[in-house]
Structure 1
Amino acid sequence: MTATGPSMYSGAPAHQVTTTDTLLWVALPYVVIAVFVLGHVWRYRYDKFGWTTRSSQLYESRLLRVGSPLFHFGILVVLLGHIGGLVVPKRWTTAAGVSEHMYHVTAVALGTVAGLCTLAGLAILIYRRRTVGPVFSATTRNDKLMYAVLTLVILLGLSATVAANLLGGGYDYRETVSPWFRSVFFLHPRAGSMAGVPILFRLHALSALLLFTIWPFTRLVHMLTAPVGYLTRPYIVYRSHDTTLGRRPPRRGWDLPR
């Protein structure tokens, strides 16, 4: 893939900002940030013991051994790619000697592979959760919502990449989406940067905002914590539902069952 003209990798031209643009790309991000931060504070204060992945490995491990590494490897690469693309300005990579063409080809190739790995791993995890009885019984409504939104975010991201860069002539989101993303955190949001962005990129951004809105109330909170608290917090007591437990005489020493 080579650059063929000034339109290659070029961002969208300036567009007039409408009321809808202001609501979606100015007001909504700050609402999401507030819910994200305050939601985590509330969750940690009132649900410390729920701050966990709610591991179901005890119920089934064969599918988990395949789906979980595939999903976590893919999502880690996707996350690093998004950080690099949204946070690092284009002029920094150019100053570091990385040409736009080199960056574009690498980002599209790695992003597509990582996205497919993430989607495949997520599909295995969802299949496992739906078909393994004990795992499905331990699935909450929040889990179902989280899986649905996460799948939507990944599908829209892959669709945007394929449609714009593999099937189309190329689109450089670092000239539009990235400046908007950084401007939100600089408290000077640029809604005009998103006004002319292709629809799949905008839907991907909106689905990501939805994911961050529900994040504090799902098992995804475990991604934002280190397991330091496990060293000092009280033990979580698990009780068996076996009605015969306690009625059988204990075995002595190393005696084996007969």
Structure 2
Amino acid sequence: MLSQFSWVIFPYVCIAVFIVGHIYRYKTDQFNWTAKSSEFIEKKQLMIGSILFHLGIIPVILGHVSGLGIPKSWTQSLGVSDHLYHLGALYIGGFFGFITLAGMVILTARRFTIKSVRKLSTASDLIVNVLLLFIVFMGMFSTLATNVVQPEFDYRESISVWFRGLLIFRPDATLMADVPLSFKIHALSGFAIFALWPFTRLVHVWSVPLNYIGRSYIIYRRHRTQKF
């Protein structure tokens, strides 16, 4: 029962909350659909942490999409051996994961240690920062430590198959039975952040100002005082 809840019910609940929560918040709380930047309070640490986090998280997300979404047989048919794929995931993924982790450490420390920033933060801000830091840390731990201790483990034969099963509504909880604990924690906490997403400042991710591209220029003219 616990296995079914963890790897079938819980993921679907998180996905449902993610979708319905976004729709509800967009319709009822557009005014607060914002990142609520604290840049005017402290700028240096925010800039460094934000740059590192965003530079790292994009390749990390793309790596997760390809690793979970692309079957192992497909990469093998393209001539990518398991050893080569493993090296890429370990070194390239580890490099960008470290950058992401460094950015999250700076951003989380900034939010908790700078008094004025902490006072401006809501409970959801603090929870999201800590949870994101935990998720990234567990991802790095799984990639580096677990691969050293259990080098024979291949997540594409278990986690990836389970995840694709969720997407096509054919979940199989037994696939996660022998997955290392660190990977399980990373997966569950990842779904948890999806459930929290609509109710936090993370919604600003979807607010890409594409309308700026076609927006007319704002013309400023100097005001000249008339002389009489």
Give TM-score, length-normalised by structure 2: 0.88
Match of 2:167 among 185, 194, 197: 185
Code of the aligned partner of 1:79 = I
Partner of 1:217: 199
% of aligned pairs identical? Answer: 44
Match of 1:27 among 9, 18, 29: 9
1: CA distance, partners of 2:14 / 2:98: 27
Match of 1:130 among 105, 112, 117: 112
Partner of 1:94: 76
After the TM superposition, which of the residue ranges 162-171 and 59-68 deviates more from structure 2?
162-171
Partner of 2:133: 151
Q: CA RMSD in A?
A: 2.1
| Runs of 5+ consecutive residues of structure 1 not aligned to the other structure | 1-18, 232-251
| Runs of 5+ consecutive residues of structure 2 not aligned to the other structure | 214-222
Partner of 1:227: 209
SS, match of residue 151 in structure 2: coil
* CA displacement at 1:65 relative to structure 2: 2.0
Match of 1:199 among 156, 172, 181: 181
* CA displacement at 1:229 relative to structure 2: 6.6
* CA displacement at 1:24 relative to structure 2: 1.0
Q: Is the 8 A contact 2:108 2:133 kept in 1?
A: no
Query: Whose Rg is larger?
Result: 1
SS, match of residue 58 in structure 1: coil
Code of the aligned partner of 1:208 = G
More helix, by proportion: 2
The number of aligned residues is 217
2: CA distance, partners of 1:117 / 1:98: 26
SS, match of residue 93 in structure 1: helix
2: CA distance, partners of 1:131 / 1:24: 35
SS, match of residue 178 in structure 1: helix
Give TM-score, length-normalised by structure 1: 0.78
Partner of 2:86: 104
* 93 and 211 in structure 1: CA distance in 2 versus 1, 3 angstrom threshold: same
The answer to whether residue 122 in structure 2 is matched with residue 140 in structure 1 is yes
Q: Is the 8 A contact 1:164 1:170 kept in 2?
A: no
The C-alpha deviation readout for 1:4-44, integer Å capped at 9, x for no partner, is: xxxxxxxxxxxxxxx21111111111111110100101111
* CA displacement at 1:99 relative to structure 2: 1.2
2: CA distance, partners of 1:197 / 1:130: 34
The C-alpha deviation readout for 1:133-166, integer Å capped at 9, x for no partner, is: 3322211110001011111111111111122223
Code of the aligned partner of 1:48 = Q
Code of the aligned partner of 2:33 = W
Code of the aligned partner of 1:107 = A
* CA displacement at 1:66 relative to structure 2: 1.1
